Amino acid sequence: MAGAFDLQTSQDWLLRLERELQRLRADPNNRDTAINFFVAAESMLDWKNPGDHNAAIRKAIRDSEPLLRVVWDLASLSKHQQVRPRHDSVDASGVIGEFFGGKFFGGNFFGTLSVKLKGTAAAQMGPSISAIDLAERVVTYWKAHP
């Protein structure tokens, strides 16, 4: 059996990313939804280039594309709770511009779930990017690289 829950191809996985993006659009400051999106987005390389024999291809693609390194860093941070030495694109993530911890009035008035970038990613995309804008770029990237 390839995949789980009827997700069997990279196209199925792209459709999943689009559904996660819709959830993030509906609630742009939802940390759980953002994490779900970026962890799923990191898996796209595995779906397009499966198996241990394609590990070098996945690494080469990720290394050549700052956007995919940001996704990898976010997914890794979500799973491992710390930046590892090879992660070079994400400085921090969270609600930027929040006031009073973003808890009042639903939090949407006080900040935007964003990622502070560094290195090549910052040079290409700017010093920070909202999670929703980053997710939009990821889906656009994978649509352009079927």
For every residue of 51-85, DSSP letters joined together read SGGGHHHHHHHHHH-HHHHHHHHHHHHHHHSS--T
Tell me the C-alpha distance between 29 and 91, whole Å: 19
| Count of Cβ atoms closer than 10 Å to residue 110 Cβ | 17
What is the predicted pLDDT for the residue at 102?
46
What is the predicted pLDDT for the residue at 85?
54
What is the predicted pLDDT for the residue at 25?
95
Tell me the C-alpha distance between 134 and 125, whole Å: 9
Contact by Cβ (8 Å): 33, 20 = yes
| Count of Cβ atoms closer than 10 Å to residue 88 Cβ | 16
What is the predicted pLDDT for the residue at 105?
47
Domain ranges for the chain, please list them.
10-144
Q: What share of the chain is helix, strand, coil (3-state, %, to 5)?
A: 60, 10, 25
What is the three-class DSSP state of 146? Answer: coil
Per-residue pLDDT of the chain (146 residues; tens, 9 = 90+): 465 557 678 888 899 899 999 999 999 999 999 999 999 999 999 888 989 999 999 999 999 999 999 999 998 877 666 655 566 898 888 887 654 444 444 444 557 899 999 999 999 999 999 999 999 999 999 999 98
Q: pTM of the predicted model, to two decimals?
A: 0.83
